[in-house]
């Protein structure tokens, strides 16, 4: 990560004495590559300066900026109405108090449309006497969301089914159960058929025996 600093406009620190001081606006330009699976929750890391008050936090997708932010925070609260519709109720601060300058956010249940570049812009104010001195930190993340065949397969194995008795089985177990039931039905049918043949044979034999005895 490279830290670039450039002088900003002079700020008046003491209006009575006309003392003019120069402040620095520091921009932290870093690039991070991330790859996650479809449906995961991902934490987008962004670190501001420690021991300084975060006044504004903006997470943006450049291609969606005109339609809203990924996340927007100002004056100690987030603004849901400023978010892009696709990120509403899906993004929250990793640390609600943003202690030690932690401006990271968690994006829930990622989808393929979440692939792209994310920018974190943080404006801070010194907690000391020179409260007018501000600085901005910018961080870039390239996020890739993948959908593997293994993910789809694992989901199909978790499908459940319910039989007529109210018992719930996993899909794989249900297939085995259905096959076993079919075998049982066939076996019972064979036993019944054999029984009918035996009974008929015995009846014919007894009839012939009675005829032979009386004759």
Reported as a single tens digit per residue, the pLDDT across 153-182 is 333 334 343 444 444 444 444 444 444 455
Q: What is the pLDDT of residue 162?
A: 44
Task: Give the model's confidence band at 37: pLDDT under 50 very low, under 70 low, under 90 confident, else very high.
Answer: very high
Q: What is the pLDDT of residue 3?
A: 41
| Residue 40, pLDDT above cutoff 80 | yes
| Residue 152, pLDDT above cutoff 70 | no
- Whole-number Å distance between alpha carbons of 123 and 23: 14
Q: Which residues contact 42 (CB under 8 A, 6 or more apart)?
A: 34, 36, 106, 107, 110, 143
Instruction: Find the DSSP H helices in 158-170.
Output: none
Q: Closest by alpha carbon to 143, among 163, 120, 167?
A: 120
Q: What is the pLDDT of residue 16?
A: 30
Instruction: Find the DSSP H helices in 129-170.
Output: 149-157
By the 10 Å C-beta count (0-12 exposed, 13-18 middle, 19+ buried), 135 is classed as: buried
Helix axes 149-157, 171-214, angle to 10 degrees: 50
Task: Give the model's confidence band at 214: pLDDT under 50 very low, under 70 low, under 90 confident, else very high.
Answer: low
Q: Closest by alpha carbon to 120, among 67, 64, 45?
A: 45
| Residue 193, pLDDT above cutoff 80 | no
pTM: 0.55
Q: What is the pLDDT of residue 204?
A: 73
**What value does the mean pLDDT of the chain take?**
72
Task: Give the model's confidence band at 209: pLDDT under 50 very low, under 70 low, under 90 confident, else very high.
Answer: low
Local structure of 186: helix, strand or coil: helix
Would you give the distance in Å from CA 92 to the centre of its chain? 12
């Amino acid at each position: 990560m490279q830290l670039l600093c450039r002088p900003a406009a002079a700020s008046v620190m003491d209006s009575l004495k006309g003392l003019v001081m120069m402040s620095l606006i520091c921009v932290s330009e870093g690039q991070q590559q991330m790859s996650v699976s479809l449906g995961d929750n991902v934490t987008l890391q962004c670190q501001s300066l420690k021991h300084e008050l975060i006044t504004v936090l903006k997470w943006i997708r450049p291609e969606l900026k005109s339609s809203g932010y990924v996340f927007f925070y100002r004056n100690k609260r987030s603004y849901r109405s400023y978010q892009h519709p696709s990120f509403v109720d899906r993004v929250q601060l990793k640390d609600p108090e943003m202690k030690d300058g932690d401006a990271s956010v968690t994006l829930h249940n990622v989808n393929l449309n979440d692939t792209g570049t994310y920018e974190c812009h943080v404006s801070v104010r010194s907690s000391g006497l020179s409260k007018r001195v501000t600085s901005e930190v910018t961080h870039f993340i390239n996020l890739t969301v993948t959908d593997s065949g293994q993910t789809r397969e694992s989901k199909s194995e978790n499908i459940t089914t319910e039989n007529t008795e109210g018992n719930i089985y996993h899909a794989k177990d249900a297939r085995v159960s259905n096959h076993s039931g079919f075998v049982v039905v066939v076996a019972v049918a064979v036993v019944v058929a054999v029984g009918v043949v035996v009974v008929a044979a015995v009846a014919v034999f007894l009839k012939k025996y009675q005829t032979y005895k009386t004759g």
